[in-house]
């Protein structure tokens, strides 16, 4: 699998709620923090402001633009961010799954959005790879999202048999398409793991790691894949990803190890060998350094959850 599919698969996003939202006049809504979730949405008509706590500058969303909020931080949607917001709970209880919530008078803004609960046990680490706010502009990349958004609008507005299942599948499509659109627009210009995937050279190294995590890579190996000198590669990788190459390789191996320990009865020695470690003790040392507990304790803790 490619790195984006790897990460999303391990997060195990489950669609918790999809809804439409129609607003008019002056309005502002505050949404609370919800840990272990990803929210994504798209503006169908009109526009609004989006501000995420500690997520950088607010963005003005116009028709045909979308957003992904991967870290569950508090955020606001508003016609004017200077307005005092009302809590989201006062607006959205009436929006059942498949419903449309309304606020204010008229239709100055209409958007569709979905919230995903992440069931993967290592979701917090995986979420840290993504920026707090992903803004999808209205350009050529929007075309890939348009069909899914239009279909969701139709299903939200007409509760036909099977709508709930269709909405759930469309929500997953919109999430993946939005992240792909972000990769297309960034082209390595921004920092962070997701943007690094769009960097031709650093992305090639990340894909090599994910394609064969058990290979005993060296800095020279990965630099060669990226077509760079070792020193330049190591510096640029850390600038883009936020971790040194070997640190990222080890962290990804431990995420895979944790997933396998929780989903199978494979012995630690086999997991260690598959992930490139010559001995179980070397693997255990690396696991404890990354996950803060020894492997066997991790297994016991996971069994009690």
Q: What is the pLDDT of residue 204?
A: 95
Q: What is the pLDDT of residue 93?
A: 67
Q: What is the pLDDT of residue 286?
A: 94
CA-CA distance, 18 to 115, in Å (whole number)?
Answer: 6
CA-CA distance, 287 to 209, in Å (whole number)?
Answer: 17
CA-CA distance, 165 to 61, in Å (whole number)?
Answer: 28
CA-CA distance, 97 to 283, in Å (whole number)?
Answer: 45
- For 91-113, letters b (16+ CB in 10 Å) and e give bbeebeebbbbbbbeeebbbbbb
Q: What is the pLDDT of residue 127?
A: 77
Q: Are 193 and 70 in contact (CB under 8 A)?
A: no
CA distances from 247 to 51, 65, 192, 209 (A): 32, 35, 15, 12
Contacts (Cβ under 8 Å, ≥6 apart) of 27: 78, 79, 83, 103, 104
Report whether pLDDT(252) > 80: yes
Q: Are 223 and 234 in contact (CB under 8 A)?
A: yes
CA-CA distance, 1 to 72, in Å (whole number)?
Answer: 26
Q: Would you tell me the crossing angle of helices 143-157 and 163-186 to the nearest 10 degrees?
A: 160
**pTM of structure:** 0.77
Q: What is the pLDDT of residue 131?
A: 82
- Listed residue (57, 51, 55, 52) closest to 79, CA to CA: 51
Q: What is the pLDDT of residue 304?
A: 64
Contacts (Cβ under 8 Å, ≥6 apart) of 58: 49, 50, 51, 81
Token pair recorded at residue 295: 């492997």
Q: Would you tell me the crossing angle of helices 245-263 and 280-291 to the nearest 10 degrees?
A: 100
CA-CA distance, 65 to 142, in Å (whole number)?
Answer: 7
* 167 — pLDDT class (breaks 50, 70, 90): confident
Average pLDDT over residues 54-77: 89
Domains, in order of start, for the chain: 3-187 (2.60.120.280), 199-304 (1.10.10.60)
What phi and psi, each to the nearest 5 degrees, are found at residue 235?
A: -65, -45
Average pLDDT over residues 66-76: 89
What is the sign, positive or negative, of the torsion defined by CA atoms of 294, 300, 304, 305? positive
* 46 — pLDDT class (breaks 50, 70, 90): very high
Q: Are 37 and 115 in contact (CB under 8 A)?
A: yes
Token pair recorded at residue 193: 């793991």
CA-CA distance, 164 to 183, in Å (whole number)?
Answer: 29
CA-CA distance, 46 to 79, in Å (whole number)?
Answer: 10
Report whether pLDDT(81) > 90: yes
Q: Is 251 helix (H, G, I), strand (E, B) or coil?
A: helix
**Which secondary structure element, helix H or strand E, spans residue 287, and what is its range?**
helix 280-291
- Residue 82: how many CB atoms within 10 A of its CB? 8
Q: Is 44 helix (H, G, I), strand (E, B) or coil?
A: strand
Count of residues in the chain? 305
Of 138-147, 193-202, 228-237, 245-254, which gets the smallest average pLDDT?
138-147
């Amino acid at each position: 699998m490619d790195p984006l599919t790897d990460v999303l698969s391990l997060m195990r996003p489950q669609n918790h709620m999809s809804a439409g939202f129609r607003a008019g006049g002056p309005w502002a809504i505050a949404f609370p923090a919800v840990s272990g979730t990803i929210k994504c949405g798209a503006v169908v008509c009109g526009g609004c402001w989006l501000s995420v706590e500690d997520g950088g500058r607010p963005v003005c969303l116009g028709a045909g633009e979308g957003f992904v909020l991967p870290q569950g931080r508090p955020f606001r949607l508003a016609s004017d961010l200077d307005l005092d917001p009302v809590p989201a709970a006062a607006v959205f209880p009436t929006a059942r799954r498949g419903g449309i919530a309304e606020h204010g008078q008229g239709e100055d803004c209409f958007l569709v959005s979905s919230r995903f609960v992440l069931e993967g046990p290592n979701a917090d680490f995986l979420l840290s790879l993504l920026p707090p706010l992903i803004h999808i502009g209205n350009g050529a990349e929007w075309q890939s999202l348009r069909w899914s958004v239009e279909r969701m609008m139709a299903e939200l507005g007409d509760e036909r048999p099977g709508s709930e299942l269709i909405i759930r599948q469309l929500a997953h499509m919109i999430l993946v398409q939005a992240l792909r659109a972000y990769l297309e627009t960034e082209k390595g210009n921004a920092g962070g793991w997701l943007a690094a995937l769009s960097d031709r050279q650093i992305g090639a190294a990340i894909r090599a790691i994910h394609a064969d995590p058990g290979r005993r890579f060296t800095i020279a190996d990965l630099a060669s894949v990226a077509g760079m000198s070792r020193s330049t590669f190591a510096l640029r990788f850390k600038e883009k990803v936020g971790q040194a190459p070997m640190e990222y390789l080890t962290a990804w191996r431990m995420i895979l190890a944790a997933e396998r320990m929780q989903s199978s009865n494979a012995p630690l020695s086999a997991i260690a060998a598959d992930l490139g470690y010559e001995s179980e003790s070397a693997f255990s040392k690396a696991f404890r350094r990354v996950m803060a507990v020894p492997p066997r304790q991790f297994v016991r803790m996971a069994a009690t959850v």
